[in-house]
Structure 1
Amino acid sequence: MTLDFTGQVAVVTGAGGGLGRAHALALAARGAHVVVNDIGGSRDDTSPDSTPNTPAACVVAEITARGGSAVADYADVTDHTQVTAMIGRALTAWGRIDILINNAGILRDASFRNATLDDFRTVVDVHLMGAVNCTKAVWEHMIAQQYGRILMTTSASGIYGNFGQANYGAAKSALVGLMNVLAIEGEPKGIRVNALAPLAATRMTESILDSAAAEALRPEAISPGALFLVSPDAPTKTVLGAGAGVFAVSEMRESRGCFLPDDARTPEDIAAHWPQISDFSRLSSTDSTTAQIRNYVGMQKSTA
Structure 2
Amino acid sequence: MSIRFDGKVAIVTGAGGGLGRSHALELARRGAKVVVNDLGGDRTGAGGSSDAANKVVEEIKALGGEAIANGSSVTDDQGVENMVKQTMDKFGRIDILINNAGILRDKSFSKMTMEDFQLVVDVHLMGTVKPTKAVWEIMKSQNYGRIMVTASSTGLYGNFGQTNYGAAKLAVVGFINTLKLEGQKNNIHCNALAPVAYTRMTSDLMPPEAEQMLTPESVSPGVMFLVSEDAPTGMILCAGAGVFAAARMEEAEGIFLGREDLTAEKVAENWGKISDFSNAAPFFMGGEQTGKFFKLATGGK
After TM superposition, the score normalised by the length of structure 1 is 0.97
How far apart are 1:303 and its partner, in Å?
6.6
Say whether 1:204 aligns with 2:201: yes
Write the mapping of 1:203-222 to structure 2, written as runs, cut at 5 A: 203-222=200-219
CA distance in 2 between counterparts of 1:194 and 1:283 reads: 22
2:42 is aligned to 42
Change (3 A) 1:220 1:281: same
Residue by residue over 1:16-72, the C-alpha shift from the partner in whole angstroms, topping out at 9 and shown as x without a partner, is 00000000000000000000000011111111125xxx0000000000011011000
Say whether 1:288 aligns with 2:285: yes
Say whether 1:94 aligns with 2:91: yes
Find 1:147's aligned residue among 116, 121, 144.
144
Contact 2:249–2:282 (CA<8 Å) still a contact in 1? Answer: no
Query: Aligned residues, how many?
Result: 301
Residue by residue over 1:80-120, the C-alpha shift from the partner in whole angstroms, topping out at 9 and shown as x without a partner, is 21111111111111110000000000000000000000011
1:135 is aligned to 132
Contact 1:259–1:303 (CA<8 Å) still a contact in 2? Answer: no
Kindly provide the amino acid, as one letter, of the partner of residue 272 in structure 2. Answer: P
Write the mapping of 1:131-280 to structure 2, written as runs, cut at 5 A: 131-280=128-277
1:12 is aligned to 12
Say whether 1:72 aligns with 2:66: no
Q: 3-state DSSP class of the match of 2:210?
A: helix
Contact 1:256–1:279 (CA<8 Å) still a contact in 2? Answer: yes
How far apart are 1:208 and its partner, in Å?
1.8
Change (3 A) 1:263 1:214: same
CA distance in 2 between counterparts of 1:191 and 1:9 reads: 14
How far apart are 1:170 and its partner, in Å?
0.3
CA distance in 2 between counterparts of 1:285 and 1:166 reads: 25
CA distance in 2 between counterparts of 1:110 and 1:65 reads: 41
1:29 is aligned to 29
CA distance in 1 between counterparts of 2:260 and 2:266 reads: 10
- Segment drifting more, 281-290 vs 95-104: 281-290
CA distance in 2 between counterparts of 1:283 and 1:65 reads: 50
- Structure 1 runs (4+) greater than 3 angstroms displaced: none
How far apart are 1:285 and its partner, in Å?
5.1
Kindly provide the amino acid, as one letter, of the partner of residue 156 in structure 2. Answer: I
Kindly provide the amino acid, as one letter, of the partner of residue 164 in structure 1. Answer: G
Q: 3-state DSSP class of the match of 2:74?
A: coil
Where do 5+ consecutive residues of structure 1 fail to align?
A: none
Q: 3-state DSSP class of the match of 1:242?
A: strand
After TM superposition, the score normalised by the length of structure 2 is 0.98
CA distance in 2 between counterparts of 1:26 and 1:287 reads: 30
Contact 1:12–1:23 (CA<8 Å) still a contact in 2? Answer: yes
Contact 1:33–1:70 (CA<8 Å) still a contact in 2? Answer: yes
Change (3 A) 1:91 1:303: closer
CA distance in 2 between counterparts of 1:49 and 1:285 reads: 43
